[in-house]
Amino acid sequence: MHAASMPIPQSLFQIIEYLLSRSPTVPPKKAAILASATKTSKKKKWSKGKVKDKAQNSVVLDKPTYDKILKEVPTFKMISQSTLIDRLKVNGSLARRAIRHLEKEGQIKRIIHHHGQLVYTRASGSD
């Protein structure tokens, strides 16, 4: 038979309407189990972990920081780029330039020079 020649029943729309209106019957026990399962099995929320704040180190050397470098840094027992960044809140390039300036003036002396890590101490002999 050809598909076009097949008559469409008049009650087709009634059958579809009936099938769509019928709700699937679920036993009460099974419905309770399904309801409790959907409550407990929520999607896992992944934690962000520890979020570190971005350091707001100064990029330009101002007068108070310069005075602090000249006054306090020569008294530190150990001086490195990292210690200046932590204590004075300046960026790495300013810390390196400050260390070079203090070494040139003779206020600090170099202990270790290993690749990029330079370690200095105060120039006075008394500890």
**pLDDT tens per residue, range 42-78:** 677 777 778 888 888 889 999 999 999 999 999 999 9
**What's the structural domain count of the chain?**
1
In a domain, 27, yes or no: no
In a domain, 7, yes or no: no
In a domain, 10, yes or no: no
In a domain, 90, yes or no: yes
More confident residue, 8 or 68: 68
Instruction: Please give the pLDDT value at position 127.
Output: 47
Instruction: Please give the pLDDT value at position 7.
Output: 53
- In angstroms, the CA 57 to CA 55 distance is 6
Cβ atoms of 72 and 98 within 8 Å: the answer is no
pTM comes to 0.56
In a domain, 110, yes or no: yes
- In angstroms, the CA 18 to CA 32 distance is 27
- Rounded to 10 deg, the angle between the 63-72 and 81-88 helix axes is 130
Q: How many CB atoms lie within 10 A of CB 73?
A: 22
Written as one letter, the residue type at 15 is I
- In angstroms, the CA 48 to CA 51 distance is 7
Q: Which domain holds residue 78?
A: 63-122
More confident residue, 82 or 6: 82
